[in-house]
Structure 1
Amino acid sequence: MTPALNLSSPWSRQLVRHTLDSGGVIAYPTEAVWGLGCDPWNEAATHTILDLKNRPEHKGLILVASSVDQIRFLLSPLAEELQERATRHWPGPVTCVIPDVRRQIPPWVRGRHSGIAVRISAHPLVKSLCELSGGPLVSTSCNPAGRAPARHPWQVQKYFPEGLDLLVAGRLGDARKPSTIIDIVSGQTLR
């Protein structure tokens, strides 16, 4: 059983940061469903998530951040119009596919895509986790491929009795479905 903790104490915040820094995988509540997260620059941690979900690497993963500043490195090479298309949706439950023109995101996160899906969260716990990590996190729904995303901690434990390092306690946001995904270049809604 994965240990559960909340972020109410300096000790618990330090443990979450240490877990992420050392390549651990966490489960946490997001705006609509429970998510799995890790340091996107840690290949082993990202592959742990892909293995847990039985998700092929080529599909790519979403990054979540606490602020535009955390993903400024992705936006700065883009035309101002594209930057504005993305930032007008944030913070909130909209994921924007941004061209990764400098190839700054590792292929194990980007998958076969030339862009990267990014969301700036308005969820207080998700924001805190990104701030603790010092940057964006991988954020993907907490479920094996083909199963409904977890909406309760007990579902997280049932889906993944092993393989998670921490379960961060908290409440889901008010959204009832996963984030909308928009391609900022074409303007097309992908989900």
Structure 2
Amino acid sequence: MQQRSEGIAKAVVVLRSGGVIAYPTETVYGLGCDPRNPDAIQRIFKMKGRTRRAPFLLVASSVAQVRKVAKLNGKGLTMARKYWPGPLTLVLPAKLGKKDIAIRVSSSNFVQALTRAYGFPIVSTSANISGQPEARSGQAVRKIFKARKEQPDLVIDVGSLPRRKASTVARVRGDGTIEVLRKGAIRI
């Protein structure tokens, strides 16, 4: 437990300083940063070799945290209450700036503790080169990014993660209808 809390404390310091972390989620290792920091987001795009056309999702510790960045009501709130914490990513209207934001309340105890300690949702994208297999261990993260110019500032290694289905991604439209954008662990 102490090792976990030390990892979370280190991660919070890195996030607050504008850095990028690699961390375990309920499915794979992810890359994360503060979504309000455009330089950190750009570093993740470079690390992954990914175009900016495909935005990243966010993970949060609670519905209250989701509401800091997205409008959550009606059908979206009903789905959140039913499936969160869990592998359902909702595409919701953003509170500021962007039109929509993809976000979920993770069922990972580590992600919950991390985002709670940070006090704000964080970026979550698989720790891999775009189009390549995802990392399922801290060792795999280090191997993937070893030869890259951009690397995570901190890798939180909890060992190997079991294979699980990716999250289901669904858009909640203004009229209350649901559009499934990616089939995953939850059937809607």
Aligned residue type for 2:29? W
Which residue of structure 2 lines up, in the alignment, with residue 187 of structure 1?
Answer: 178
Structure 1 portions without partners, runs of 5+: 108-113
**2:55 pairs with 60, 78, 90, which one?**
60
Which residue of structure 2 lines up, in the alignment, with residue 26 of structure 1?
Answer: 21
Q: Does 1:94 align with 2:88?
A: yes
Matched-pair contact (CA < 8 Å) for 1:74–1:98? no
Q: Does 1:170 align with 2:167?
A: no
Matched-pair contact (CA < 8 Å) for 2:89–2:169? yes
Matched-pair contact (CA < 8 Å) for 2:137–2:157? no
Report the Cα distance in structure 1 between the residues aligned to 2:93 and 2:81, rounded to whole angstroms.
14
Matched-pair contact (CA < 8 Å) for 1:40–1:138? yes
Aligned residue type for 2:158? G
Report the Cα distance in structure 2 between the residues aligned to 1:164 and 1:115, rounded to whole angstroms.
27
Matched-pair contact (CA < 8 Å) for 2:136–2:162? no
Size of the alignment, in residue pairs?
A: 175
Larger RCO (CA within 8 A; separation ≥ 6) = 1
Q: Structure 1 pair 81/142, CA: closer, same or farther in 2 (3 Å)?
A: same
- Is 77-86 or 161-170 further displaced after alignment? 77-86
Moved beyond 6 Å, runs of 4+: none
What root-mean-square deviation, in Å, do the aligned CA atoms of Structure 1 and Structure 2 show?
A: 2.2
- Is 138-147 or 49-58 further displaced after alignment? 49-58
Percent identical across equivalent pairs? 39
Q: Describe how 1:105-184 pairs up with structure 2 within 5 A.
A: 114-161=99-146, 163-170=151-158, 176-184=164-172
